[in-house]
A and B are shown apart, each in its own frame.
Chain A
Amino acid sequence: MNALDISQVLMYLLLLILLTPVLGGYMHKVFSGERHFMLPVFGWLEKLTFRVTGTKPEQGMGWKSYTWSLLLFNLGGFVVLFLLQLTQNLLPLNPARLPAVSWHLALNTAVSFITNTNWQSYAGETTLSYLVQMTGLTVQNFLSAATGIAVMLALVRGIVGRSSLLGNFWADITRIILYVLLPLSVIFAVVLNAEGVIQNFSGPVTVSTLEGGKQVITMGPVASQEAIKQLGTNGGGYFNANSAHPFENPTPLTNFLEMLAILLIPAALTYTYGRMTGSLKQGYTLFTCMMVLFVAGLLVSLYAEYHMVSPAGKGLVMEGKELRFGTTGTVLWTVATTVASNGSVNGMIDSMSPLTGITAMFNIMLGEVIFGGVGSGMYGMLLFVFLTVFIAGLMVGRTPEYLGKKIEAFEVRMALAGILIPGFMILLFAAIASVSKPGLAGLNNAGPHGLSEILYAFSSAAGNNGSAFAGLNANTVFYNLALGFTMLFGRFGVIIPVMAIAGSMAVKKVTPLSVGTFRTDNLLFIILLTGVILIVGGLTFFPALSLGPLAEHILMHSAVTF
């Protein structure tokens, strides 16, 4: 690593730290209905939306009706996206005359986008029309991100609230999109466009290459989709090569900005959380814990990539990395996207060192709580907080409580369900895939590396990350369905328990703070929380990880590669 690499990493972390309170504070104003500077710009649109849809924003919902609204909303999104794909050959804005998508791929893709996973079994430019990309994928990029934030809002209102009402889902979704996602995306899209990310409706361009061959270059409205793809921790690329493609991510500057966009909202939400709970320290505690885990993963990966062993000897290996981003730009990207449940890639994890692979996979397996997806990172982290408070809270000699509310059997059950359901899906399907014919058919690599590919695919689906190890051909009926199920359970298997906790916490009595209270805003708690995340997350997957990437890593150092 040279000085430039180091300063890039430091600059990145610094900007993230500085922007967190700025955006976080603004979001708090939006979510709590305070006056903010976007109100004059979009206030009329909000009012119009409410009038047209008949939404009464001040009418609070209990946890059940909030959850039902959310599920219906997502079901609607699923149906639209599914049908759009099946009928794209009949619809306009399809200059490349792409045929209808197969049912299982359409199903997989629809689930993938409503769950904020953006797993790409499809190859964007050769499978989906502009219409589907714009009105299907991009719209879902907004809606699924907004859903994540809405769930977090409901949970936090439950934690700090004094009544059983958790806010109005429709009003929340409208405000999140209008005042947070849309303005940020517009600004970011313009910046990307200025830096060379394309935005047009032209058909594919055919050019002659220097060697006299012919190449078809796909065009399309990329910048607009790219912006929300990163900001909403979605990650589904316009192109199959995702952010390694020069039209999606042309320069080191766009690379840097896109990386920042990936963690921007998830990090800022910790500050919003601090504001909502009335204690910024609570928010910064979670921010610090996430930061520590993020930096730890980053250091491990950087070390691994700069000390990789390849058949060519020790040293820098550039296979699977873009020269214009360099090793640091690729590793930082990989770690940022895997902690944030953002499926975009600018390099091929498949080609990176096994330790980078473990880190990436581990980040996802921990439940996407290190910053995590927009909203989902925070509510996932809060599940770990509940668990930590319960295990450690007993040790101070009181019924465990968080922010004055008791954590009892119901919350423990729900928190465990939310944490364990994704793990359950990963282990179950990875086990099936690793011994079954259709599962093994998709593998490109042998040995422990193949196992890593399978584990990664299901972890990515369960964590709603969407990035792929690559090297696994997942567009088969088996993988499309298995991964589709895993994504659904990984998303709603967490959301429903989280909403149930929000409902039960909302009506609990608040115990006032005293020196007898178990503090959740200090260094000791950060250590505890980190420990619980690593042990509960780690213990579950350690056997599987040992047989896959860990074995591979050790073998690599004895010069055996796969």
Chain B
Amino acid sequence: MKTKKTTSVFTRGLILTAVKDSFSKLNPLTLVKNPVIFIVALGALLTSGIVIAGTRGGHFSSFDLQISLWLWFTVLFANFSEAIAEGRGKAQAESLRRSRTQVKARKISGDHEETVTSAMLKKGDFVICEAGDQIPSDGEVTEGIASIDESAITGESAPVIRESGGDRSAVTGGTKVISDRIIIRITSEPGNTFLDRMISLVEGAKRQKTPNEIALSNLLLGLTIIFLLAVATLPAFFLYSLKASGLPPSQNLSLPVLVSLLVCLIPTTIGGLLSAIGISGMDRLLQKNVISTSGKAIEAAGDVDVLLLDKTGTITLGNRMATDFIPDEGISAGELADTAQLASLSDETPEGRSIVVLAKEKFNLRAREVQNLRASFIPFSAQTRISGVDLFSAGGEQQRIRKGSSEAIKTFVQNNNGFYPKNIEETVAEIARSGATPLVVAKDDKVLGVIHLKDIVKGGIKQRFAELRKMGIRTVMITGDNHLTAAAIAAEAGVDDFMAEARPEDKLARIREEQKKGHLVGMIGDGTNDAPALAQADVGIAMNSGTQAAREAGNMVDLDSNPTKLIEVVETGKQLLMTRGALTTFSIANDVAKYFAIIPAIAISLYAGSNGKGPLSVLNIMNLGSPQSAILSAVIFNAIIIILLIPLALKGVRYRPVSAMEALTRNLLIFGLGGIIAPFIGIKLIDLLINL
């Protein structure tokens, strides 16, 4: 999916389908869901009827016909915007559906195996999957470890490891086992798997209006009702005015003119584009490989003002890196580096590798062939908190090299009747104070020095947090580190607050506490122990690599399992809300110009003097050609503006990380002021074209 994505809004196939769908959406049952456009459609129907009746009666009116056609176009354009937004989702759903084929599953029942189809699997069943098998349904690995190709869902071709226990036990139906054998406990009922839900979400089949969308629809409906009344009462005032100017009542406003006025005044622009904006918000998230279980969650993301971020992976690179060798008195830095490198040669942890690399970079020490050293390695364990190597020097005597925590090395040296120097203790304390991790290196009874292991804060993250702060979003770093270390990293990364020595239940408590103060909290997590916090957070993003429990608890899933996604999700949410507000403002501001086009046009004959022009013709500040062309131009502008704004509705207004005040000023200038001015220009141009 990721690779197939196109950045362009329109492709040929998409447009053709959307054009077709715009017509099928003329179904009244579909139309009625959008009251503003439904009223336009009724108006179009009414004027068409008048045209047909008129033609039959022998007095065909080309003006009425044109009005009626443009009203139909208005409806079709609105339908088109929705269809094209849905179309992009449908294409993605189609590719997903291909991976949801029926497969045979090896179900364990009692002590034997039976082959069933994947559709027959129930929650709680156990199945066996081996290399080459497609995983039949969502589940959790209960036994074994396997590498799995998840490209069908994530678009990422590199296989991932899934194993029983721990935080990487969830597997998704439709993905493929590449190696090894695992036993999976099925965790979802047929028809309700992750893939199923994803398809229906992407297709928009289950799309429900979000709270803000409902509020906005209410606003639009309210405005529509009042404009309906303003237009409906107009013939009465007009009749009075006709009488007062000595004109016959037969010159009263015709229905097509009234319908035109109504359609121009009701907020058709935002009414037509509203649903496209909502769908495209989900779509934009999808392009970032994030799937939201509801539109509501995206909207909530815009409101989030506190982000809980795990230190590891989000703020710092996953691993600590060696940045310095600090030798004890009488030892050269080179000797320390050499020893440290030896101790780390077969240490496959990222920390170990970084020591090898640092020694190479600083002292040009090449990694040696381990076999030649007749070495035996002592791997790190949480109990001993020490690792190292036993080897034989050129002289044949055995050397025991160790690296580990200060406490562990102290014990090691003292057991070898050695002495743990005071200045090493001081160095250790100093490094710890700076927020880094000290690793002490010893050879037999002698301490050689300290390796400075540092958490590397991700490049650009500080700036990112500064941007968030500008938008009024507070960041809280969560780490299991001690307070000193956490404080130092927090300062370096520029987060607003941190929680040190945090346990999973602390996370949940923190979210509750923030929410109590009125904040909306966003977080991203992966482990089973994150699930309660994910469920409690207003926006909880589960990483796709995480456990099934986490995926169920959150309201979004990040297919890339990239913790910084949270920030992008917030931005998408804000952009969605901004786009709605901007187009609403634009739509309402447009009305000013339309009044100046239509009112003088319809009232030209009232109280007319000798030149045939009534007093209200001074309102014709655009100097439009004729009353008919003025009305037609307003209606055409009203229809065309929908088409012109579709790209904006789909892409969203340009988003910048600025304060509310700046964002408002900017959007107000473009869409408020622009909304007042643009139609004056647009209507005038169309009028010029019509009167060519």
A450-B244, A543-B237, A544-B237 are known contacts. Are A551 and B615 too (CB-CB below 8 A)?
yes
A432 within 8 A of B: yes
Are B215 and A390 in contact (CB-based, < 8 A)? yes
Q: Which single member of A397, A535, A550, A555 contacts B592 (CB below 8 Å)?
A: A535
B-side interface mostly: helix
A266→B57 CA distance, assembly (Å): 61
Which chain B residue has the least Cβ–Cβ distance from A518? B660
A391-B581, A392-B581, A448-B244 are known contacts. Are A399 and B589 too (CB-CB below 8 A)?
no
Q: Which single member of A387, A398, A536, A546 contacts B599 (CB below 8 Å)?
A: A546
Are B219 and A390 in contact (CB-based, < 8 A)? yes
Are B668 and A416 in contact (CB-based, < 8 A)? no
Are B230 and A541 in contact (CB-based, < 8 A)? yes
> What chain B residues lie within 8 Å of A551 (beta carbons)?
241, 603, 606-607, 614-616
Are A397 and B574 in contact (CB-based, < 8 A)? yes
Are A404 and B577 in contact (CB-based, < 8 A)? no
Are B607 and A396 in contact (CB-based, < 8 A)? no
Which chain B residue has the least Cβ–Cβ distance from A454? B240
Q: Which of B170-178, B467-475, B529-537 contacts A (4 or more CB under 8 A)?
A: B467-475
Q: Which single member of B225, B471, B584, B615 contacts A555 (CB below 8 Å)?
A: B615
Which chain A residue has the least Cβ–Cβ distance from B474? A514
Q: Which single member of B230, B582, B606 contacts A540 (CB below 8 Å)?
A: B230
A416-B219, A515-B471 are known contacts. Are A394 and B589 too (CB-CB below 8 A)?
no
> What chain B residues lie within 8 Å of A446 (beta carbons)?
244
B234 within 8 A of A: yes
Which chain A residue has the least Cβ–Cβ distance from B573? A397
Which positions 602-652 of chain B face chain A at CB distance < 8 Å? 603, 606-607, 609, 614-616, 618-619
Are B229 and A427 in contact (CB-based, < 8 A)? yes
> What chain A residues lie within 8 Å of B672 (beta carbons)?
531
Q: Which single member of A392, A404, A407 contacts B664 (CB below 8 Å)?
A: A392
Q: How far is the CB of B571 from chain A (nearest CB, A)?
A: 9
A398→B661 CA distance, assembly (Å): 12
Q: Which of B104-112, B377-385, B504-512, B515-523 contacts A (4 or more CB under 8 A)?
A: B515-523
Q: How far is the CB of B583 from chain A (nearest CB, A)?
A: 10
A423→B517 CA distance, assembly (Å): 40
> What chain B residues lie within 8 Å of A509 (beta carbons)?
518
Task: Encode A430-454 as 1/0 by CB contact (under 8 A) with B.
Answer: 1110110000100000111011000
Which chain A residue has the least Cβ–Cβ distance from B472? A516
Are A511 and B305 in contact (CB-based, < 8 A)? yes
Are A408 and B215 in contact (CB-based, < 8 A)? yes
A477→B661 CA distance, assembly (Å): 54
Are B472 and A517 in contact (CB-based, < 8 A)? yes
B578 within 8 A of A: yes
Which chain A residue has the least Cβ–Cβ distance from B516? A509
A507 within 8 A of B: no
A228→B385 CA distance, assembly (Å): 86
Which chain A residue has the least Cβ–Cβ distance from B237? A547
Are B241 and A420 in contact (CB-based, < 8 A)? no
A396→B222 CA distance, assembly (Å): 23
A511→B182 CA distance, assembly (Å): 48
Task: Encode B208-248 as 1/0 by CB contact (under 8 A) with A.
Answer: 00011011101100110111011111101111110011000
A395-B578, A409-B211 are known contacts. Are A539 and B239 too (CB-CB below 8 A)?
no
A316 within 8 A of B: no
A428 within 8 A of B: yes
A547-B606, A551-B241 are known contacts. Are A398 and B660 too (CB-CB below 8 A)?
yes
A407→B470 CA distance, assembly (Å): 23
A434-B239, A541-B230 are known contacts. Are A416 and B218 too (CB-CB below 8 A)?
yes
> What chain A residues lie within 8 Å of B615 (beta carbons)?
551, 554-555, 558
A539→B229 CA distance, assembly (Å): 12
Which chain B residue has the least Cβ–Cβ distance from A450? B244
A284→B298 CA distance, assembly (Å): 36
> What chain B residues lie within 8 Å of A548 (beta carbons)?
237
Are B305 and A407 in contact (CB-based, < 8 A)? no
B364 within 8 A of A: no
B429 within 8 A of A: no
Which chain B residue has the least Cβ–Cβ distance from A542? B595
A524 within 8 A of B: yes
A407→B211 CA distance, assembly (Å): 10
A518→B305 CA distance, assembly (Å): 13
Q: How far is the CB of B245 from chain A (nearest CB, A)?
A: 8
Which chain A residue has the least Cβ–Cβ distance from B589? A535
Are A510 and B585 in contact (CB-based, < 8 A)? no
A7→B232 CA distance, assembly (Å): 46
B580 within 8 A of A: yes
Are A540 and B226 in contact (CB-based, < 8 A)? yes
A560→B609 CA distance, assembly (Å): 10
> What chain B residues lie within 8 Å of A542 (beta carbons)?
595, 599
Are A554 and B616 in contact (CB-based, < 8 A)? yes
Q: Which single member of A510, A511, A522, A544 contacts B233 (CB below 8 Å)?
A: A544
A551→B261 CA distance, assembly (Å): 19
Are A511 and B603 in contact (CB-based, < 8 A)? no
Q: How far is the CB of B248 from chain A (nearest CB, A)?
A: 15
> What chain B residues lie within 8 Å of A409 (beta carbons)?
211, 214-215, 218
Q: How far is the CB of A542 from chain B (nearest CB, A)?
A: 6
Q: Which of B219, B240, B303 has the most CB of A within 10 A?
A: B240
Q: How far is the CB of A165 from chain B (nearest CB, A)?
A: 20
Q: How far is the CB of A129 from chain B (nearest CB, A)?
A: 39
> What chain A residues lie within 8 Å of B588 (beta carbons)?
391, 535-536
A528 within 8 A of B: yes
A377→B576 CA distance, assembly (Å): 35
> What chain B residues lie within 8 Å of A306 (beta carbons)?
none
Q: Which single member of A413, A427, A555 contacts B230 (CB below 8 Å)?
A: A427
Task: Encode A485-497 as 1/0 by CB contact (under 8 A) with B.
Answer: 0000000000000
Are A394 and B595 in contact (CB-based, < 8 A)? no
Are A399 and B303 in contact (CB-based, < 8 A)? yes
A481 within 8 A of B: no
A219 within 8 A of B: no
B591 within 8 A of A: yes
Q: How far is the CB of B611 from chain A (nearest CB, A)?
A: 11
Are A428 and B237 in contact (CB-based, < 8 A)? no
> What chain B residues lie within 8 Å of A478 (beta carbons)?
none
B663 within 8 A of A: yes
B575 within 8 A of A: yes
A12 within 8 A of B: no
Are A431 and B236 in contact (CB-based, < 8 A)? yes
B667 within 8 A of A: yes
> What chain A residues lie within 8 Å of B244 (beta carbons)?
446-448, 450-451
Are B518 and A510 in contact (CB-based, < 8 A)? yes
B299 within 8 A of A: yes
Are B215 and A407 in contact (CB-based, < 8 A)? yes
Q: Which single member of B229, B474, B578, B616 contacts A424 (CB below 8 Å)?
A: B229
Q: How far is the CB of B236 from chain A (nearest CB, A)?
A: 4
A519 within 8 A of B: yes
Which positions 367-421 of chain A face chain B at CB distance < 8 Å? 387, 390-399, 404, 407-409, 411-413, 416-417, 420
Please name 18 pairs of A and B residues whose Cβ atoms are closer than 8 Å in the assembled complex, sorted by A. A391-B581, A394-B582, A395-B581, A398-B303, A398-B577, A399-B212, A416-B223, A434-B236, A448-B244, A510-B518, A511-B519, A515-B659, A516-B305, A516-B660, A524-B664, A539-B265, A540-B227, A551-B616
Which 8 A-B residue pairings sit nearest by Cβ, starting from the closest? Answer: A516-B472, A394-B581, A397-B574, A514-B472, A416-B222, A554-B615, A431-B233, A431-B236
Chain A contact residues, CB within 8 Å of chain B: 387, 390-399, 404, 407-409, 411-413, 416-417, 420, 423-424, 427-428, 430-432, 434-435, 440, 446-448, 450-451, 509-512, 514-519, 522, 524, 528, 531, 535-536, 539-544, 546-548, 550-551, 554-555, 558, 560
**Inter-chain pairs besides A395-B667, A528-B668, 11 sampled, C-beta below 8 Å:** A391-B219, A395-B668, A399-B211, A399-B303, A408-B215, A431-B237, A514-B474, A524-B665, A539-B265, A542-B595, A547-B238
